[in-house]
Amino acid sequence: MTSKLEQLRAFTVVVADTGDLTAIEKFRPRDCTTNPSLILKAAQQPESAGLVREVIERGARDGDSVERILDRLAVRFGTELTKLVPGYVSTEVDARLSFDTQAMVDKARSLIALYEEHGVGRDRVLIKLAATWEGVRAAEVLEGEGIHCNLTLVFSLEQAVAAAQAGAFLISPFVGRITDWYKKAEGKDSYPVEEDPGVQSVRRIYAHFKEQGYPTVVMGASFRTAAQVEALAGCDRLTVSPALLAELDGDQGTLVRQLTPSDAEGDKEAPLGEAAFRWSLIENQMAGEKLNEGIRAFHQDYLKLKHTVEEHLAKVGTNAVPAD
């Protein structure tokens, strides 16, 4: 009997939710996703110390801003990841830009240019944008330029639909964070997996996309348990932490496919406008709160990484310009 991880690979693209180069070599995912907190964690590992030092010292010599060094660090990690996986590497735009369409577009173009300096084409990179209205519009522009986007922090069907209608390559609906919210709101310690609100949300989005014929990839994210991953077996992609990948890899039980594309097609829905999108995040308390909380948390992670870089710069001596 093969492991559940190997069985999962038969009908779902497995993505590693980590910047840990060693874990990626071990579990052989198709794609990788990163964010500032994952890069910070990876940067603190001995095997990554030389890479971090090299990027920071180059930035110090060139007089780069701290923000530019952070971009170079993200791209350098991403470049190393492209050597380990055959598919896409997701690189995140700073969450503080999440309500500025042009700023997100400019940052994405800058990141892609840095990747190209390292010989990595845009066909290997997904730009991660928060699924705000502005993020959706930025994705629309970038996709038109051949820069594929990963719309993250998706907590509602409306966010998912807006991203798909804008032509986003991929969306990341969050499972665990939705479940966390409902557990707190309803005073529950846990849910049977079939009643798990996070699992139900991704299943609903997946079914809707297949019914509408949207080509946008659905990638379940933010898992708390292996049972949640198993409950979404068959989803287009699933991005999973090394700890849960290890658990699935060590389980020799039978994995049953849960999601399968349907041949049935429903009536095509009208484009979702800005007013309806924004109102949906007011009406859906969970989605509105978790989107704002996620943006805030992602930016806090960015600030932690920035502080780490500034500490390194202080040690080597630098003319680098502080980030805003």
- The identity of residue 216, as a single letter, is T
Instruction: Give DSSP secondary structure letters for 44-104.
Output: TSGGGHHHHHHHHHHHHHHT-BHHHHHHHHHHHHHHHHHTT-SS-EEEEPPGGGTT-HHHH
CB neighbourhood size of 194 (10 A)? 10
How far apart are alpha carbons 296 and 106 in whole angstroms? 21
What residues contact 184, with CB distance under 8 A and at least 6 apart?
Answer: none
How far apart are alpha carbons 128 and 119 in whole angstroms? 20
CB neighbourhood size of 80 (10 A)? 18
Contacts of residues 223-226 at CB distance under 8 Å and 24 or more positions apart, as own/partner, are 223/175, 223/176, 224/175, 224/176, 224/179, 224/180, 226/4, 226/251
* Closest to 150 in 3D by CA, of 206, 246, 219: 219
Q: What is the DSSP letter of 277?
A: H
Q: Which residues participate in catalysis according to the annotation?
A: 128
Element (H, E) at 255: none
3-state helix, strand, coil split of the chain in percent (to 5) is: 55, 10, 30
Q: What is the DSSP letter of 320?
A: P
